[in-house]
Structure 1
Amino acid sequence: MLVILAGEQLLSPQQVCQNCLMADQSGQPRWRQGQLRCGQAILKLGEKTPDQFECQMGFRVANIE
């Protein structure tokens, strides 16, 4: 499940991405095959797969399972 990290809060993508010009046609982040296509990965040192991404609008996006 994708969530938007805003300070101490977790927001749903529907609350943030619906009005974003970078979102897909359904107002969702462009998430494909474990990658955020409308942003970039935030990698931690020594890790191969990111657990957070930063969208082009400046929000942090995480995939929580």
Structure 2
Amino acid sequence: MLVILMDEQILSPACVCQTCLLADQSGQPRWRQGKLGCGHAVRKLTPQQPDQYECEMGFRIARVE
């Protein structure tokens, strides 16, 4: 599951990505083959952290299980 991390909140991508020109047709981030197609990976500080990405709009997206 993908979530958007804010300072004090965790948001659903549907709340943010619907208005993004890079989102897919359903208003979700472009997630393909285990990678975010509309952003880049962010280095983990610890191995326990979930995979994190920064989208082109500047939001931090995490993949949590």
Normalised TM-score (structure 2): 0.87
Q: Once the two structures are aligned, what percentage of the paired residues are identical?
A: 70
Normalised TM-score (structure 1): 0.87
Q: How many residues align?
A: 63
- Cα offset, 1:45, TM superposition: 6.2
Q: Which moved more, 1:36-45 or 1:23-32?
A: 36-45
For residues 14-51 of structure 1, the C-alpha deviation after alignment (integer angstroms, 9 at most, x for no partner) is 0000010010011000011110000000013686xx71
Report the RMSD for the aligned CA atoms in angstroms: 1.7
1:36-47 superposed matches below 5 A? 36-44=36-44
Consecutive unaligned residues of structure 1, counting only runs of 5 or more, are none
